[in-house]
Structure formats: structure tokens, C-alpha cells
Amino acid sequence: MAERILYNLLQVFVVVAFAPLVEGVTSRLKENLQSKRGPSIVQPYRDLWKLLHKDEIVSEHSSWIFRAAPYVAFTAPVFVALLIPVLTQYPLFFAFMGDMLGGGFILALGGFFATLAAVDTANPYGPMGASRTRMVGFLAEPVFIVVFLTVSFVAGSTIPYIVQLRWVSPIANFFEPSHVLLLIAFLMLILAEDGRIPVDSPSGLFELAMIDRSKSLEYSGRGAALMKWAGAMKFLVLICIFLNVLVTPWGLAHGMGLAEVLLAIPMVLLKIFGFVLVLVYIESSLAKLRLFRITEFLGAAFVISVVAMITRLSEI
């Protein structure tokens, strides 16, 4: 029992500590792929350190929402990290506290507060980015619902730990059409939810074209650091759900030994870096879509997920 609580907290620690590293590796690999040298992979840590030591300026016209939003946004992925398999294959202490839908709701709560805070300051770019994020969000919502419905239907459970075991035993399950189609649909969702290239440009500095990033323009100092960190953690949590639950549940710890769980950290990180390479390749080979083309992108994701559901429902 004590071990399970300990590992669960270790899992949260891993997500909090390595999220900036994953972000740093992503931006570094992206620059490398485009034949540039790129920033150091520890640059996000340096940025966070600098921001945490700076003064914070808050508009006097803003309400408590603006001040609370960074903390809510920061805690949401932390709570989700309690629920999903990050390091171990067996359920940990808090695993049955909430299922995948619960995790989705918690992440959505963080996003909701970030959106409210963007509207709160009445900075011209904030509400624009907020409304665009909501647009992408409500287009992504049906895909999320269908994907999770199908996944839970296949596994007979909505608890991620039970779902992940379904795909690898026997190995023939891995090649099921519904599985592969769900992977494609979920990959498109990650691109949309995290503001990656076909939907939004994560490194763009032009406010008029921003979708996700313009929401945190008003923050400075500690608030900015927390928002940045929260974004990195949300990305890591989404990747963990994608890799550990849906695609490759390999490399996770099987036993209860501390050494085995600690060994899982580099294995999982290696897996994540492999996925980041794929992501960076997608980002570098596509152009950003125009705003109203996002409907088509997510419409395609929706159709793929629906087809996955149909192939699943009619084969059994």
C-alpha cells in the first residue's frame, strides 16, 4: 500500500520534472531537422528559473480569475498524472479515483480557466485567442468522445490501466483496424489540442495568427512560468496517454521493486523522445492550415474515429 502511494507520487514528480525537458527536446529536434542548431535542451528550465525570479505585474482591472488561472492550469495535469499509467503497468493507489473521462474533464478545467483569464484582462489578443481555442476545442470534442467511447467499449472499461493491457495480449489485437484508426484519430487530436503545426504554430510570434499562445500573453513573472510549465505538462500527459495507454504499453515497470520503477523512467522517456521525433517530422513537413481549414482537419479526424467505431461494433 505504502509503495503504491509512493510510486504514484513519484509518477507526478516525473511528469512535473521532465515536462520542460520533453519540450526542450522537441524544440531542439525541430530545429535540427530544419538544419539549424537550435536551443539547448535545458533551455525551458532556464526560462522557468528566470521567470520565477522576476517581478509579476497584474493588471488592476483584472479579477481573481486572472490570478487563480495559472495555479488551476498547473494543478490540472498534476491530478491527471495521478490517474494515468506513466511508469507502471499495474494500477497505483489513485488509479481508480477517476477514469479517462475524468482525466479529460480535469484537463478541460485547466483549459477553461486559461480561457477565462485570457478574456479577463481585455487585452485585444487574449479574447481572440480564447475564442479560437474554444472553436478548435468544440470541434475536437466529438472526436474525443468517439475515441474514448470506442476504447472503453473494446476494453470493457474506462480505467486506462485496464485499457492498455487489451492491445498487447495477444499481439494480434495490436493490428486491429479499429486500434490503428483510433491511433491516427488521437494523433490528430494531440496535434490540435496542443496547438501543433497543422492547426497552430507553437513557436509563432505573430499575435494575429496565434490560437493557443495568445492566451498567456498578459502573464509575467511567476504566472508566466506556471502557465508555460502547465503547457509543457499537459503536452507530456497527452503523450503519456497516447503512448502508454493506446500505442505502445511496453517499457513500463511490471514488478513492485523500486529499482524496476526507477528503470522505467529512462525507458518511458526514450519512448517519448521517439514519438517526439515523429511529431517533429510531421510538424516540419506540413504547413499551418488557415483558420477555417481546421474544420476539415478535425472533420477528417472525426470521420476516422467514427469508422474505427463502426469497424469495431460490427465485427463482434
| Interacting residue ranges for another protein, rule: CB under 8 A | 170-178, 180-181, 184, 295-296, 299-300, 302-304, 306-308, 310-311, 314-315
Nearer to another protein among residue 84 and residue 298 (C-beta): 298
Q: Which is nearer to another protein, 86 or 181 (CB)?
A: 181
Q: Between 220 and 295, name the residue whose CB sits nearer to another protein.
A: 295
Shortest spacing between CB 141 and another protein, in angstroms: 15
Q: How far apart are CA 302 and CA 274, in angstroms?
A: 26
158 vs 178 by CB, closer to another protein: 178
Q: How far is the CB of 204 from another protein (least distance, A)?
A: 23
> Based on C-alpha coordinates, what's the Rg of the chain?
19
- 9 three-state secondary structure: helix
10 Å CB burial of residue 173 (0-12, 13-18, 19+) is middle
Rounded CA-CA distance 19/126 in Å is 25
Closer of 173 and 220 to another protein (Cβ): 173
Rounded distance, CA 243 to CA 19, Å?
15
Tell the burial category of 224 from Cβ atoms under 10 Å away from its Cβ (0-12, 13-18, 19+): buried
**Identity of residue 311:** T
CB of 232 to another protein, least distance (A): 32
C-alpha cell at 227: 502557465
CB of 180 to another protein, least distance (A): 6
CA angle 311, 195, 162 (to 5 degrees): 45
Task: Give min distance, CB of 143 to another protein, in A.
Answer: 12
Sequence-separated (6 or more) residues with CB below 8 Å from residue 104: 144, 148
In angstroms, give the least distance from the CB of 286 to another protein.
Answer: 13
Query: Which of residues 9 and 180 has its CB atom nearest to another protein in the complex?
Result: 180
